[in-house]
């Protein structure tokens, strides 16, 4: 858990924990890892003292025990272990009389600090370094001068660290930073006096934030929790000014770490011009078992006085529920459900562009079960679709789906295909869907907008598919039969009322079953041609032709004998046919006979090349598919549109895909539809284009490299350098990624009112240096001659800090956001932010 921080710099202390009781030396002193011949190895039992265990020690130079002073001296690469403590230093002295241990380094003119082999103490998982270390075995108290230690994130320093009774520590001249520079860090927090109770709290006074050695902020004192792991505590707020809602305090709240598996937080944001936001999030997780949470938010806006004609009032809310669980390998639960008052909540509470542009919210909650070793599976689903513009809601509760995947009931267990009988190729599949659907529609009335639930719509659908695929050498023949049955709890009847020329609709509440089917046969084959040009390194070009023909039959289920359709005469005396199941969940039976002959042909061109006489590469050159159908049972317009689609990739650089549709019949502008007259007869042409689309996309990845003689990664930063000077010495690469996507489509369903779409979108990503990264995206509409939703993002790595700049130059949300913050996760809320947009402007620190 990462606690939020703010202007008060409170996060600094929330990560101090017990690491600060052994601070580090700002002067880096690499340990001398070269060991000489050990002079002696001893076990030194000390009687009549507070030392209750054996002290093991070793020294490369000498180990001397002075009987007169009752002291043990260890010289050069001295090492001592006692219980869970291990100490290394250039010199270690143990006074048997006072029972005090004293450790120091040795003078070394070649080292920047003037010393080497400085004391390093390891106790448990903690490592402490310093220039001078003392420890009293009798009082169990000790101190470290110029102490240094690493935290989970960052480093701690202390001029003097003293351990007193129990686990109580006093620190003089404390310093904390996440900078990678131990000498002259570019930023740090400093306090002259601190009292640390490990795994409890930290008390500090006069806390300064220094940036490049300059104090930029100060607070007189602070008391904070200091515990390992996730900690409960106050979430500190940010402050600023918003162009619409005035001065604000945002994100003030409390985080409660309930236990290792769940937590909850609640925050409040207050704006002086009449806005209040409340948010809360509850989370739970048990690794490899389940996870989820509940998030809720409320936003209240009151702009203007009661007598103000421009007064604005809004109350918006949102609840999100998430749960994911694998109960066992065959049973899972997965859900994400959101309920909200409407789009105003996202407009008020977020600056995220995706949330602001959201048109609807789709929620699903699903339980899935399958039976291992069987073709059966079952799912229970809750579905909800809320339109944020109109407020309309469509819900399905429950939605039950049972599936029986394809089964070959007559196939033997030792089926191989070579000696199988024809009946073994007979298969079936079955699917059942049971749904209860309801809708909430917002209806405009004279008094405002009323929410009305339309009548609920239950329904059950059964689908049975039977296929037969006997094997043949050069052709695939597949007879098929599809059967569908629908169950409803109601149907409708329509009557014409001559008195007012209206149509009356009545509902018949009873069980209704609708049954229909279709059957047919399909034939397909593959023809392959190979051409070997033997030019360049091309070893072969293959052309695969896949012709297919099928016939489908479906009766006219609107015939009176089936009873699925009714009729009435309108005011002109014309007979109007209608389905008894209009508006039902799955609709009704098909209304016309179908005797359709379908033709299609696929073309695939591939190429094979040989490199270095050993490596073969295969490429798809071109893919072209076309098809057409003819309905013998139709009374007019028997030919369908001719469709074609194509796809190719040129050299792996340019991808091209598209489709086209052609119609053979004349368009009548009076009736605004196609009539049963061939274009060949009326205009002397075979067909005309009704729709066309093409997409071109390409992308490039390349880069530049630059270097200099000096690489700062291998040396310490100079005392007078700033973080920005590091760029002058860095070895860096400049990766560049560019992509272009062009779409063009034309619709001529009505040749007299054609419509076109033509737009280009480009994305650019590049790193000017290792620390500078840029992203830009924009689109251009060639029809409207407009630039759409461009944005530019710049990112700068400032070592321990980072800068992020977002700019939307045009559009409703135009504006920019500049943020400079500490990179360390525990300190990321210590930041400077400046933001402007069309919805207002604010900045905070």
Span 587-638, pLDDT tens digits: 999 998 999 999 999 999 998 888 777 778 888 889 999 999 999 999 899 9
What number is the average pLDDT over the span 536-542? 86
Res 215 pLDDT > 60: yes
- Residues 407, 387: contact at Cβ < 8 Å? no
Res 92 pLDDT > 90: yes
pLDDT class for 324, splitting at 50, 70, 90?
very high
Higher-pLDDT residue of 363 and 169 is 363
Lowest mean pLDDT among 15-29, 84-98, 386-400, 681-695: 15-29
What percent of the chain is predicted at pLDDT more than 70? 84
What number is the average pLDDT over the span 323-348? 90
Res 568 pLDDT > 70: yes
pLDDT class for 20, splitting at 50, 70, 90?
very low
Lowest mean pLDDT among 187-196, 275-284, 426-435, 544-553: 187-196
How many CB atoms are closer than 10 A to CB 394?
A: 17
- Parallel/antiparallel/unpaired status of strands 565-569 and 575-579: antiparallel
Lowest mean pLDDT among 260-264, 398-402, 720-724: 720-724
Q: Residue 309's pLDDT is what? A: 77
Res 838 pLDDT > 60: no
Q: Residue 633's pLDDT is what? A: 93
Domain boundaries, the chain: 11-231, 232-358, 656-799
Integer Cα distance of 836 and 845 in angstroms: 15
Alpha carbon distances (Å) from 678 to 149, 599, 627, 638, 639: 88, 20, 19, 11, 10
Average pLDDT over the chain, rounded to an integer = 83
Res 225 pLDDT > 90: no
Integer Cα distance of 250 and 329 in angstroms: 44
Give per-residue pLDDT as tens, 789-812. 788 999 998 888 899 999 888 776
Higher-pLDDT residue of 386 and 228 is 386
What number is the average pLDDT over the span 334-354? 80
Q: Residue 165's pLDDT is what? A: 66
Whether cis (ω within 30° of 0) applies to the bond prior to 794 is no
What number is the average pLDDT over the span 50-63? 83
Give per-residue pLDDT as tens, 434-454. 999 988 887 766 665 566 767
Q: Residue 46's pLDDT is what? A: 44
pLDDT class for 48, splitting at 50, 70, 90?
low
Integer Cα distance of 194 and 506 in angstroms: 83
Q: Residue 137's pLDDT is what? A: 81
Q: Where are the beta strands (DSSP E) in 117-272?
A: 120-123, 126-129, 132-136, 141-150, 155-163, 169-177, 187-197, 200-211, 214-226, 233-235, 238-242, 246-259, 262-271
Q: Residue 29's pLDDT is what? A: 35
Q: Residue 448's pLDDT is what? A: 57
Virtual CA dihedral for 321, 326, 330, 332, nearest 10 degrees?
0
Higher-pLDDT residue of 378 and 456 is 378
Architecture of the 11-231 domain = Sandwich (2.60)
Res 15 pLDDT > 90: no
Higher-pLDDT residue of 265 and 824 is 265
pLDDT class for 34, splitting at 50, 70, 90?
very low
| Bridge partner residues of 757 (DSSP) | 745
């Amino acid at each position: 858990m990462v606690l939020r921080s703010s202007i008060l710099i409170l996060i600094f202390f929330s990560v101090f924990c017990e690491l600060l009781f052994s601070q580090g030396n700002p002067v880096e002193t690499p340990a001398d890892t070269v060991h000489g011949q050990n002079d002696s190895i001893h076990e030194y039992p000390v009687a009549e003292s507070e030392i209750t265990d054996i002290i093991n020690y070793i020294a490369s130079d000498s180990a001397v025990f002075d009987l007169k002073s009752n002291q043990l001296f260890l010289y050069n690469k001295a090492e001592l272990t006692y219980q869970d403590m291990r100490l290394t230093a250039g010199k270690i002295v143990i006074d048997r009389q006072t029972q005090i241990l004293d450790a120091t380094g040795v003078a070394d003119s070649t080292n920047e600090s003037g010393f080497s082999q400085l004391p390093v103490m390891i106790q448990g998982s903690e490592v402490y370094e310093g220039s001078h270390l003392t420890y009293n075995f009798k009082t169990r108290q000790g101190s470290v001068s110029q102490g240094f230690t690493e935290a989970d994130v960052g480093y701690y320093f202390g001029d003097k660290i003293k351990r007193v009774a129990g686990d109580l520590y006093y620190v003089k001249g404390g310093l904390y930073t996440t900078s990678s520079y131990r000498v002259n860090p570019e930023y740090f927090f400093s306090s002259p006096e601190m009292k640390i109770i490990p795994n409890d709290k930290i008390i500090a006074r006069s806390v300064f934030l220094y940036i490049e050695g300059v104090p930029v902020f100060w607070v007189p004192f602070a008391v904070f929790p200091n515990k390992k792991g996730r900690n409960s505590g106050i979430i500190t707020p940010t402050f600023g000014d918003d162009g619409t809602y005035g001065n604000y305090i945002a994100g003030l709240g409390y985080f409660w770490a309930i236990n290792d598996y769940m937590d909850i937080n609640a925050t409040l944001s207050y704006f002086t011009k009449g806005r209040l936001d409340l948010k809360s999030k509850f989370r739970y997780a048990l690794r490899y078992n389940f996870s989820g949470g509940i998030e809720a938010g409320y936003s209240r806006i009151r702009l203007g006085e009661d007598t103000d004609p421009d007064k604005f009032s809004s109350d918006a809310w949102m609840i999100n529920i998430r749960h994911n669980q694998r109960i066992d390998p065959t049973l899972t639960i997965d859900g994400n459900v959101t309920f909200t008052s409407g789009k105003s909540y996202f407009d008020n509470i977020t600056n995220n562009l995706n949330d602001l542009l959201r048109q609807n919210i789709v929620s699903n909650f699903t339980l899935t079960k399958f039976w291992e070793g069987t073709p059966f599976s079952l799912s229970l689903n809750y579905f909800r679709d809320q339109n944020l513009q109109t407020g309309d809601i469509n819900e399905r509760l429950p939605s039950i789906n049972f599936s029986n995947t394809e089964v070959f009931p007559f196939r033997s267990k030792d089926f191989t295909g070579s000696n199988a009988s024809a009946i073994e190729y007979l298969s079936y599949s079955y699917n059942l869907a049971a749904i209860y659907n309801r809708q909430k529609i917002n209806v405009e009335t004279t008094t405002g907008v009323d929410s009305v639930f339309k009548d609920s719509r239950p329904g059950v659908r059964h689908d049975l598919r039977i296929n037969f695929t006997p094997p043949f050498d050069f052709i695939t023949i597949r007879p098929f039969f599809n059967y569908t049955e629908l169950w409803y709890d109601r149907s409708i009847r329509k009557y014409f009322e001559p008195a007012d020329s209206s149509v009356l609709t009545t509902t018949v509440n009873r069980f209704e079953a609708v049954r229909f089917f279709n059957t047919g046969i399909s034939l397909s084959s593959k023809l392959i041609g190979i051409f070997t040009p033997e030019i360049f390194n091309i070893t072969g070009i293959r052309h695969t032709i896949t012709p297919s023909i099928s016939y489908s039959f479906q009766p006219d289920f609107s015939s009176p004998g089936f009873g699925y359709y009714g009729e009435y005469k309108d005011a002109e005396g014309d007979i109007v046919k209608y389905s008894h199941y209009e508006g039902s969940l799955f609709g009704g039976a098909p209304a016309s006979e179908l005797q359709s002959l379908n033709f299609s042909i696929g073309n695939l061109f591939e190429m094979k090349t040989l490199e270095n006489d050993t490596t073969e590469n295969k490429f798809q050159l071109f893919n072209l598919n076309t098809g057409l159908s003819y309905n013998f049972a139709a009374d007019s317009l028997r030919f369908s549109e001719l469709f074609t689609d194509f796809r190719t990739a040129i050299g792996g650089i340019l991808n091209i895909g598209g489709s086209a549709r052609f119609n053979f019949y004349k368009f009548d502008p009076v009736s605004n539809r196609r009539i049963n007259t061939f274009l060949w007869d009326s205009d002397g042409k075979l067909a005309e284009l009704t729709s066309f689309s093409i997409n071109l996309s390409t992308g490039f990845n390349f880069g530049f490299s630059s270097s200099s003689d000096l690489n700062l990664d291998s040396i310490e930063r100079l005392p007078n350098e700033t973080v920005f000077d590091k760029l002058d010495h860095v070895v860096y690469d400049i990766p560049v990624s560019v992509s272009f996507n062009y779409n063009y489509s034309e619709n001529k369903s009505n040749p007299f009112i054609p419509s076109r779409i033509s737009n280009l979108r480009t994305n650019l990503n590049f790193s000017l240096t290792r620390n500078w990264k840029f992203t830009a995206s924009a689109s251009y509409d060639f029809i409207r001659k407009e630039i759409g939703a461009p944005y530019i993002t710049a990112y700068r790595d400032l070592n321990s800090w980072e800068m992020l700049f977002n700019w939307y130059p045009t559009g409703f949300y135009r504006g920019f956001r500049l943020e400079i913050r500490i990179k360390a996760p525990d300190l990321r809320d210590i930041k400077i932010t400046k933001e402007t947009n069309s919805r207002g402007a604010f900045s905070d620190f």
